[in-house]
A and B are shown apart, each in its own frame.
Chain A
Amino acid sequence: MADFDQELDASGLNCPLPILRAKKTLAGMEAGKVLHIIATDPGSVKDFEAFARQTGNELMESKEEGGKFLFLIKKV
């Protein structure tokens, strides 16, 4: 697991809440900082890819571990 600066646990939340919470958390972070997101919504995998492409934030890692979906997003 790479290092991260902040963590967001979006477990149990369904579309579009993980994206909205991530957006809000990123808004309070400095550029270059990394956010670790934990989600249980299977739709969040494609959604975070699309979120990164459209907002320019970098999706550094996306993986599944023990039924959870884990993402590392670096703020632009």
Chain B
Amino acid sequence: MDEKKLAIIATKGSLDWAYPPFILASTASALGYETEIFFTFYGLQLLKKDLDLKVTPLGNPGMPMPGGMEKWFPTLLTALPGMEAMMTSMMKKKMASKGVASLEELRELCQEAEVRLIACQMTVDLFDMDPTAFVEGIEFAGAARFFEFAGQSDICLYI
């Protein structure tokens, strides 16, 4: 049986959207897939040593809020100072209580399983990001490098 390949582009840098790339990549590698994640634009936040990701109910009507309050809570008030910090803290507590892994743990599991993590060089330059702020063992490359692997992949996801 040939090894299957999974290519993922991670473009989002919020706490909620950080999960799908790492969950899918770590699971795929457990199933024997060769896996690569290409991090571009806000997705690069997921490669920082110190993850400081947030989740916000602002502009996100599908996000469940405590006690079903998303059904009546005025949208405008989700922009209030402190809402983001409060929802982020509640989301993290909820995840821990339900046995959902931390992002740091999932990312480490990906690296242990030899999932290749690639940082988009263009984005690093664009936002003047400090390459030493990223975790060890990642690669810096461009779109052509992504296609080299994605072109042979069985599954290719844009997240």
Q: Which residues of A contact B (CB under 8 A)?
A: 12-17, 19-20, 22-23, 40-41, 51, 54-55
Contact = CB atoms under 8 A, between A and B. Distances in A.
Interface in B51-97: none
A23 B113 CA distance: 10
16 contacts: A12-B99, A13-B99, A13-B101, A14-B98, A14-B99, A14-B101, A15-B100, A16-B26, A19-B27, A20-B26, A22-B30, A51-B31, A54-B31, A54-B32, A55-B31, A55-B32
B23 interface: yes
A19 B30 contact: yes
A19 B100 CA distance: 13
A13 B96 CA distance: 10
B99 A16 contact: no
Q: Which of A14, A20, A51 has the most CB of B within 10 A?
A: A20
